[in-house]
Chains A and B, each alone.
Chain A
Amino acid sequence: DAGVIQSPRHEVTEMGQEVTLRCKPISGHDYLFWYRQTMMRGLELLIYFNNNVPIDDSGMPEDRFSAKMPNASFSTLKIQPSEPRDSAVYFCASSFRDSGADTQYFGPGTRLTVL
């Protein structure tokens, strides 16, 4: 299994531009999570999906952020317009509901720099 795949691994963009981050979860997993990690705020859950349906988006910072999961093998996190304070490492993770306590598997992350 290739694990969770994220692309791009690094993204540098200018303020005001649209940024799209991509994630392919582990095959068969029915939960997908988007996190953001910064030195100041640590690891934050932005949104998560179950069976492609958004369950909790309370961590999405503002309307500039949106996430979609059109099918079980693909999700996107979009920032439009981007701002310098969005600079962070964005992680995607997936899990499968097993016996009750569920392990999340993380991708390698996308390091976003907004100039």
Chain B
Amino acid sequence: AQSVAQPEDQVNVAEGNPLTVKCTYSVSGNPYLFWYVQYPNRGLQFLLKYITGDNLVKGSYGFEAEFNKSQTSFHLKKPSALVSDSALYFCAVRDIWGGATNKLIFGTGTLLAVQP
């Protein structure tokens, strides 16, 4: 079955420092991978996705993610963190079982806290 794992419940980083939020995946076939962000009292917002092609995917708000097939990882990165980046981040993979589907399988989420 398709799955993603986010090994860190929380990541703390100082403003201006680079940040990484980790995600590993387990899929059969080619993975379709996503990152979403959830700000307090809001719904999830799409950040970026990987389908195929360049392993470095650029998304909203200066975020990017690197697809690494050998390590089955899709880590979210940003060169310089902002306090406003503090939020809950979800990794997700598209579930392809049962035929064509738009169903996403979400990770447990990682809380990013950026200290000023």
Contacts and interface: CB of A to CB of B under 8 A. Distances in A.
Interface of A: 4, 31, 33, 42-43, 45, 48, 50, 55-56, 91, 93, 95, 97, 99-109
Contact of B46 (A4, A48, A105): A105
Contacts of B36: 106
B42 A108 contact: yes
Contacts of A108: 42-43
A97 B100 CA distance: 10
26 contacts: A33-B102, A42-B106, A42-B108, A43-B90, A43-B109, A45-B103, A48-B102, A48-B103, A55-B101, A56-B98, A56-B103, A91-B44, A95-B102, A99-B51, A100-B32, A101-B34, A101-B49, A101-B51, A104-B44, A104-B46, A104-B102, A105-B46, A106-B44, A108-B42, A109-B41, A109-B42
B82 interface: no
Contact of A97 (B102, B108, B109): B102
Contacts of B45: 106
Contacts of B108: 42
Contacts of A99: 51
A110 B106 CA distance: 19
Contacts of A48: 102-103
Interface string B79-116: 00000000000100010001001111010110000000
A91 B41 CA distance: 11
Contacts of B109: 42-43
A102 B94 CA distance: 8
A56 B45 CA distance: 23
Contacts of A56: 98, 101, 103
Nearest to A42: B108
A49 B42 CA distance: 23
Given A99-B51, A100-B51, A31 B102 contact: yes
A55 B42 CA distance: 26
